[in-house]
Structure 1
Amino acid sequence: MTATFSKTLAERIEDLLPQTQCTKCGYPACRPYAEAIAAGEANYNQCPPGGAEGIARLAALLGKPDIPLDTTHGVERARPVAVIDENVCIGCTLCMQACPVDAIVGAAKQMHTVIAGLCTGCDLCVPPCPVDCIAMVPVTGERTGWDAWSQQEADAARARHDRRGARLERERAEAEARANARQAARAAQAEQPVRETPQAQAATPTPTDDAEAKKRAIIQAALERARKKKEEMAQLGSGPKNTDHVSAAVQAQIDEAEARRRRLGLTDDANASHPDKGDEP
């Protein structure tokens, strides 16, 4: 048993179009133009590359009269091929992005070239070129329309156009996935400190805490050494000299140091700034 599939009217119309994907008909590609004709939204005489023979083919399919080409969309002409002046090309890639059938090869900031056998003569690479280095050169002599194009070339051009569309859609999806992944990673990083800060503060001392603890330890050690020295001097009958008649400037320095020790919680007695007074009755 053989399965058969009937084509829609739009698909049958598309099969009769030259597949140059030139957009001269007013639509972004041959398929949308075919759909517009099938829906009665566009006339069947808007395709300059198909020319008079293309109109006749569509008229026969649609059961309508053969009418002239609507020249507001362009004129029937010999098929051209894009040629890039490689000495002027700056490698901007704008022509590559505009080509509907991937007939231009090159890379950013490098020379581009057109694969003549793949070019449909659509002209779409010319307007975006910022240095006007692309020329459309006729290559079919006096032959125009379908006389300058074959069904095999049309089928190959449609296949390349469809592959390019699928590739662009895949690249867009991949770029969107990468952007979403980056956004998710940034959101996770932004949330992580909020969740971990309480535990981190409780478990891990900050650099400021470490520095303060070290400072306290150094001062405490100095005080301990001074206390031992005082005890040793007392046992030998010697004490600090000139503690009763210090100058106001020296006493101010002593008071400032004592205040700093109190802020740090390191004072050992109420008379620390006047050691000799601890011996008074």
Structure 2
Amino acid sequence: MPVSTASGLAARINAALPQTQCTRCGFPDCAAYAQAIAEGTAPINQCPPGGAEGIAKLAALTGQPALPLNPDFGIEAGRSVAVIDEAWCIGCTLCIAACPTDAIFGSNKRMHSVIPLHCTGCELCLPVCPVDCIQMVNASDSRTGWSAWSPPQAEHARQRYAQHRERLSLAARPLPAHPPASQLPATAPTDPKKATIAAALARARAQRAPPSA
């Protein structure tokens, strides 16, 4: 498959994924999984959050048969959101670093909280919490897979993840080096005596100036 064709297919596949960025498919994010499917190096049944409906969407896009979800990557389940037990939170910030959509806010040694609107239920914050103060709560009742998720929610998650990656990229950039003092433009030293005289002359001119109408 030509590179441009594979790239276009990867974009369509990525748009059909739920964008939880949970890494359960074995890839670092939804875009990487989509690229692997487009290149024919990964099957279409490795996305538990998408469930059976998600596999059907990928089958339609790729022309491949719809396979059952591979249980090695998880099971289809409802959408959940993370909740932090604030009484036990020690403010370690490890969950903040793990969250792919910056859905957790807080600061070092301060209580953290989750913004439900931004949480995708990826569960990546669970294994990094040293005091197990995070739990997942159901946010979709009995609905599972894509029926527990909506295209606007997926698009919101995609945008949050893109902003998260951009923030990390900016943070990783080295600060511009300052030129050595020898390369800085020379400035004439200020003569305290001349400065005093100049200030006195300015006051004298102000006193002689005619009053304004």
Q: Alpha-carbon deviation of 1:9?
A: 0.7
What amino acid does structure 2 have at the position aligned with 1:104? I
How far did residue 152 of structure 1 move? 0.3
One-letter amino acid matched to 1:48: P
Structure exhibiting the larger radius of gyration computed from Cα positions: 1
- TM-score, structure 1 as length reference: 0.61
Q: Which residue of 2 aligns with 1:152?
A: 152
Residues 5-16 of structure 1 aligned to structure 2 (within 5 Å): 8-16=8-16
Q: Which residue does the alignment assign to 2:63?
A: 63
Give, in whole Å, the separation in 2 of the partners of 1:64 and 1:39.
13
Provide, for residues 187-207 of structure 1, a one-character-per-residue CA deviation record: whole Å limited to 9, x for no partner.
Answer: x9xxxxxxxxxxxxxxxxxxx
1:79-94 maps to which residues of 2 (within 5 A)?
A: 79-94=79-94
Mapped partners of 1:98, 1:45: distance in 2? 25
- 3-state secondary structure, aligned to 2:123: coil
Residue 177 (structure 1) shift:
2.5
Amino acid at match of 1:107: S
Paired residues for 1:161-176 under 5 Å: 161-173=161-173, 176=174
Which 4+ stretches in 1 moved above 4 angstroms?
none
CA distance in 2 between partners of 1:63 and 1:27 (Å): 22
Q: Determine the structure 2 residue equivalent to 1:28.
A: 28
Matched, 1:19 2:19: yes
Query: 2:151 is aligned with what amino acid?
Result: Q
Higher relative contact order (CA 8 A, sep 6+): 2
CA drift of 1:44 comes to 0.6
- Normalised by the length of structure 2, the TM-score is 0.79
Q: Which SS does the other structure have where 1:137 is aligned?
A: strand
Correspondence list, 1:111-260, <5 A: 111-173=111-173, 176-177=174-175, 181=177
- What displacement does 1:131 show? 0.6
Shift of 1:137: 1.0
Displacement of 1:141 after TM fit?
1.2
DSSP 3-state at the match of 2:175: helix
Residues 184-238 of structure 1 deviation map (CA, whole Å, 9 limit, x = unaligned): 87xx9xxxxxxxxxxxxxxxxxxxxxxxxxxxxxxxxxxxxxxxxxxxxxxxxxx
> 2:43 & 2:154 partners in 1: Cα distance?
21
Distance 2:53 2:146 in 1: 7
Q: CA deviation at 1:118?
A: 1.1
How many angstroms does 1:64 deviate by?
1.4
> Which residue of 2 is the match for residue 74 of structure 1?
74
Deviation at 1:139, TM superposition (A): 1.7
Distance 2:87 2:146 in 1: 34
List alignment gaps of at least 5 residues for structure 1: 1-5, 189-281
What is the one-letter code of the residue matched to 2:110? Q
Following superposition, the deviation at residue 61 of structure 1 comes to: 0.9
Return the alpha-carbon distance in structure 2 between the equivalents of residues 54 and 110 of structure 1: 39
- Paired residue type of 1:161: Y
For each residue in 1:138-179, what CA deviation from the matched residue of structure 2 results, as whole angstroms up to 9, or x when unmatched? Answer: 121110001100000000000000011011101100xx226x
CA apart distance, 1:34? 0.3
CA distance in 1, matches of 2:128, 2:153: 25
* Partner-residue secondary structure (3-state), 2:172: helix
The root-mean-square deviation of aligned C-alpha atoms, in Å, is 1.7
Structure 2 counterpart SS, 1:46: coil
5+ unaligned residues in a row in structure 2: which ranges?
A: 182-213
Query: Would you say how many aligned residue pairs link Structure 1 and Structure 2?
Result: 177
